[in-house]
Structure 1
Amino acid sequence: MKSFLLIALVLLSFSTYADSGIFYSEGGNLFPVQETSISMQKEILRFTYTPEGLVVDVFFEFNNPGETRTEIVGFVVPPCMTYEDIDFNFDVEKEMRHPYVYDFIAAQNGSILPYKVTKYESRGFSTTIDGVEERDVIYYFNVTFEPGVTKLYNHYVFKGSKYRNEDFLYRLKTGKMWANQTIEDFTMIIDASGQWFELPATLSKSIAAMAYEINGVGKISEIQGDPNKIHAYLTCGYLSLHCTNLKPDYDINLSFKSLSSKYYDFSEIYTNDFNIELPSLHWIIGSDDAKRYEGEFEGITLEAIQDMINFVYSIHGYTFGGKDFYHYFEKFSWYIPNPQLSENDIKFTVEEQAFLTALINERAKRN
């Protein structure tokens, strides 16, 4: 039985890496090959952003024009972003999972498959594919490709590590390793209400810009100075992409922006507009403790303090009373005004509330 590896997910520190390609095993080593018979007819990729972690669902549909073949299919999951983030005491084979992956499911044609989990280094595997290392973890199982269509499904929840960030990479380029070097029918869904994120403008050299669509309330904006990426903000709903005969030349890089990123965006433009430099707050603004901001607003005018308070409200679409504020915040890609929203309707995150409390306390001291 020849074995191949369908690298369908790779996660690093709340980051997602996903490849789909075929490999064969020889002497314990894995080598990438060009699959000459089985084609990838369909891939549906869904990311669901939650406070607890990233939920990933991937559906593949393959066509085997030849005889029945039983292969080894594997999903590779690196342990983390950095060596410092590795739990060396975690027994992958005993626990039957990656230390940060939960609820893993592999299924074929609607039936859940038994799988095994091991570390790459313990099996002596090696590969020349970028991003796959000896420390990686592999979920692997047998798949029988009958003549015709075979459907594979993968699901898991990644709950992050102690160095959690919000950058995601899904490797799409290896979709060209199948028979037709094409993903015949590709769909991506990003379900991330309330999130501001960055994504690639295109996935193929032959397509200048992908036809992303907002299903709900949100907006897509160009990034000044970077034609290869765009911003998307979703008040509610999801972003989708559907295309046919995709020959992927680029991977899917997603970067979900934090409060710190939004504040940096606001402060940079605010400084350019009014020639008033706001405090950087780079290492503080993600804190849930208002006391961390003590002493950070020295030299900042009362008017600027109020504008920073307005910034926190604007994140949630607050429209303010005056048209000047309304029109000013419209220039930001993360602002969508909601005329029905009142102050009491807003549910601040703990980080936003800490920042807001510190600003209100500072304003009170000035009055």
Structure 2
Amino acid sequence: MKTTLSTILILFLTFSAFGNDGVYLTRGSVIYPTQETRISLDKEILSFTVRDRVGYVDIQFQFNNPESTDRKLLIGFQAPTAAGDVSDSLSNSNQISNFTIIQDGQILPYKLKAAECEDCELKDPKDFQFTQFDPGIFVFLFEITFKPGLNQINHSYNFPASGNVSMDEFYNYILTTGSKWADGKIKDLTVNIDMGQNQYFYVNDIFGQTANWSIIGTGKVTDEKFDYIDNDSCRMVRTLSGQVQIKVTDFKPTKNIEFGVVSRYSFTSYPVDYEKIRKGEIVSIGNLFLEADYSKEELRLLRNTIYAQYGYDFNSPDLKEYFSQFAWYMPNPNLTMEDIILIEKEKEFVDKILLSSD
């Protein structure tokens, strides 16, 4: 009998329509059944760790099987092929790495299949030749036996960042599939996002007014917001170290998670400060290039923006006032200039400004 994605239980990944303005790789999701009414998703702890443009995902699921007998289900994890400005070779390469499902301390076996669409026949990936204009889907297939009562399932994988003309890097997680379990909700959801040290990033706010946002470590959830994804409001998060944590209970997901970095080298960037940049009220360092003829005062602001992003507490009143207008600025009175270790590209940028200022 032919197997299609519509006849199995799938861990559902999807991708949006795209144009030639970015590279869209892959994304992850909640395990979900197509017709499940008994087993509930009692808890999900979803942890993202991003390093060097790779997202490492660790998920702890807790399911409740109210029946007195075991239930064995065929599960799938669906990963779209790469799309956008990508080569055919990349389109035919599965972007999910280190895919692992663990139950009761045992790693579950899986088979990798592929399909042309969600309702299409699953075949060997070698049977297809995908392109950016004719994308497909990779599918990891495995079985899970849900014992009576609580079942702990651990899942991990990693995947590279996507990017487009507006965002340097972004990551997606399809959360709406959590509504496919019994009761149509995730009873207890925790989302942890660790982007690394000295970061300023956005998270689309899909969690509702009852959600609790906090920083585990040093940082803050700012008041800075912008509309980016289907008119969703995104919140800007500033971390010197640690991670943002979002907790919500009895959550009925209707939208999906996206988070990412607007500009890799500058915390002052479109779309957050676009109006101020356009009006000439602030200057942006962009991608660490001198993109115009700046005045000496502007060059001074550009150079010190680098140090402000590390949290340097300026003695000059005008610099202190200028950088205090930004939500990302967190001056550390204990930080000395000698404590700040610039990356090579930042050093080169500062040197160029010093030469231009002579």
Gap regions ≥5 residues in structure 2: 17-21, 124-133
Aligned-partner SS, 2:154: strand
The AA in structure 2 aligned to 1:36 is T
Counterpart CA distance in 1 for 2:140 and 2:263 is: 31
8 Å CA contact retained: 1:220, 1:333: no
Query: What residue in structure 2 maps to residue 221 of structure 1?
Result: 222
Pairs within 5 Å for 1:127-142: 135-142=136-143
**Which of 73, 98, 102 lines up with 1:103 in the alignment?**
98
Query: What residue in structure 1 maps to residue 19 of structure 2?
Result: none
Indicate the larger mover: 324-333 or 116-125: 116-125
8 Å CA contact retained: 2:222, 2:327: yes
Q: Is 1:19 the equivalent of 2:23?
A: no
- RMSD value over aligned CA atoms? 3.3
8 Å CA contact retained: 1:15, 1:169: no
**Which of 103, 108, 115 lines up with 1:120 in the alignment?**
115
The AA in structure 1 aligned to 2:202 is E
Query: What residue in structure 2 maps to residue 197 of structure 1?
Result: 201
8 Å CA contact retained: 2:111, 2:142: yes
Indicate the larger mover: 240-249 or 348-357: 348-357
Q: Is 1:242 the equivalent of 2:247?
A: yes
Q: What is the Cα deviation at residue 79 of structure 1?
A: 2.4
Q: Normalised by the size of structure 2, how large is the TM-score? A: 0.79
Per-residue CA distance 1:15-64 (angstroms, 9 max, x = gap): 663332534xxxxxxxxx34111110110100112125111111111111
Q: Is 1:79 the equivalent of 2:87?
A: no
Aligned-partner SS, 1:76: strand
8 Å CA contact retained: 1:10, 1:76: no
Counterpart CA distance in 2 for 1:162 and 1:324 is: 36
Counterpart CA distance in 1 for 2:9 and 2:157 is: 21
Distance 1:106 1:328, change over 3 A: same
Pairs within 5 Å for 1:300-319: 300-319=294-313
Indicate the larger mover: 50-59 or 14-23: 14-23
Q: Is 1:358 the equivalent of 2:352?
A: yes
Distance 1:281 1:232, change over 3 A: closer
Q: Is 1:210 the equivalent of 2:211?
A: yes
Aligned-partner SS, 2:267: helix
8 Å CA contact retained: 1:119, 1:134: no
Q: Is 1:233 the equivalent of 2:238?
A: yes
Pairs within 5 Å for 1:1-367: 3-7=8-12, 17-20=27-30, 22-23=32-33, 33-51=34-52, 53-66=54-67, 67-82=69-84, 84-87=86-89, 98=94, 100-121=95-116, 124-125=121-122, 135-160=136-161, 165-192=168-195, 193-203=197-207, 207-208=208-209, 210-223=211-224, 226=227, 228-259=233-264, 262-264=267-269, 269=276, 272=279, 275=280, 278=283, 285=287, 293=290, 296-298=291-293, 300-364=294-358
Runs of 4+ in 1 over 4 A off after TM superposition: 8-16, 160-165, 224-227, 265-268, 275-278
Counterpart CA distance in 2 for 1:267 and 1:354 is: 25
Q: Normalised by the size of structure 1, how large is the TM-score? A: 0.77
Counterpart CA distance in 2 for 1:4 and 1:107 is: 17
Counterpart CA distance in 2 for 1:42 and 1:19 is: 14
Distance 1:224 1:78, change over 3 A: closer
Counterpart CA distance in 2 for 1:80 and 1:88 is: 6
Q: Which has the higher strand share?
A: 2
Distance 1:254 1:327, change over 3 A: same
Aligned-partner SS, 1:344: helix
Distance 1:83 1:147, change over 3 A: farther
Aligned-partner SS, 1:340: coil
Query: What residue in structure 2 maps to residue 27 of structure 1?
Result: none
Indicate the larger mover: 223-232 or 187-196: 223-232
Aligned length: 326
